[in-house]
Amino acid sequence: MKVDILAFGAHPDDVELSCSATLMKHIDEGYSVAIVDLTRGEMGTRGTVKIRNQEAQSAADIIGAIARENLDLPDGFISNTNQQQLKVIEIIRKYQPEIIFTNAKTDRHPDHLNAYQLVQEASFKSGLRKIKTTLNGQDQEAWRPKYNYHYIQYRLIQPDLVVDTTGYMDKKLACIKAHKSQFFDPSSKEPKTLISSQTFFDSITARDQEMGRVIDKPYAEGFNISRPIGVRNLFDLI
């Protein structure tokens, strides 16, 4: 079940909003991707757990992820505890990713910051052999990803790394629209929220255009890094 990239989100739709175009581009280039939602978004104003589960799977199908799992952490109460770390360590060891994507270093929703800290620390501890975890009754091998990248969410953060996602904007919007209960739908009778407005939906395209502008491309997604990225030579960056 090893994958190249394991994308974590505090809530279903975090990954779609922030890094889905990058995931789809890498899938098209032959890399494998799995998605892990830490919570089911059960504290959200709109939708139900059942609806959100269905929406999350529909979005994963559009993205092309080989798997999507949920750790059932409590929505609104993600915390960097030993118990929650062990759940994240188990899933990292299960998929053995080279790269991890996870929530922003700072953001409007407290769960996003807490997820960043939780996954960051669990990623390191996943490589410690003396931390024991099991899967289906079998001891898991220690595994530490090579890189952790933190996508940018509601608050605009200066990116350390920008990925050209030109050609994937329409598909990104499609996988976001799969979360129909959460975003702009003029026929919905649900209470209005910040992210259910037309303005918020329009801002998704505007954000990716702004990220693209800084690298002279039509669209891009930005990330922050946990440690410097090494290259063989400077021409690898062209």
Classify residue 58 as exposed, middle or buried by CB count within 10 Å of its CB (0-12, 13-18, 19+). middle
Q: What residues pair up with 70 in beta bridges, in sequence order?
A: 37
Chain-centroid distance of CA 25 in Å reads: 15
Amino acid at 160: D
- Chain centroid, CA 156 distance in Å: 16
Measured between alpha carbons, how far is residue 133 from residues 76, 80, 83 in Å?
Answer: 26, 18, 12
Segments making up each domain of the chain, as ranges:
5-228
What angle is formed at CA 34 by the lines to CA 30 and CA 37, rounded to 5 degrees? Answer: 155
What fold characterizes domain 5-228?
Rossmann fold (3.40.50)
- The pLDDT profile of the chain, 238 residues, written as one tens digit per residue, is 899 999 999 999 999 999 999 999 999 999 999 999 999 999 999 999 999 999 999 999 999 999 999 999 999 999 999 999 999 999 999 999 999 999 999 999 999 999 999 999 999 999 999 999 999 999 999 999 999 999 999 999 999 999 999 999 999 999 999 999 999 888 888 899 989 999 999 999 999 999 999 999 999 999 999 888 888 998 887 7
Q: How far apart are the first and last CA of the chain?
A: 33
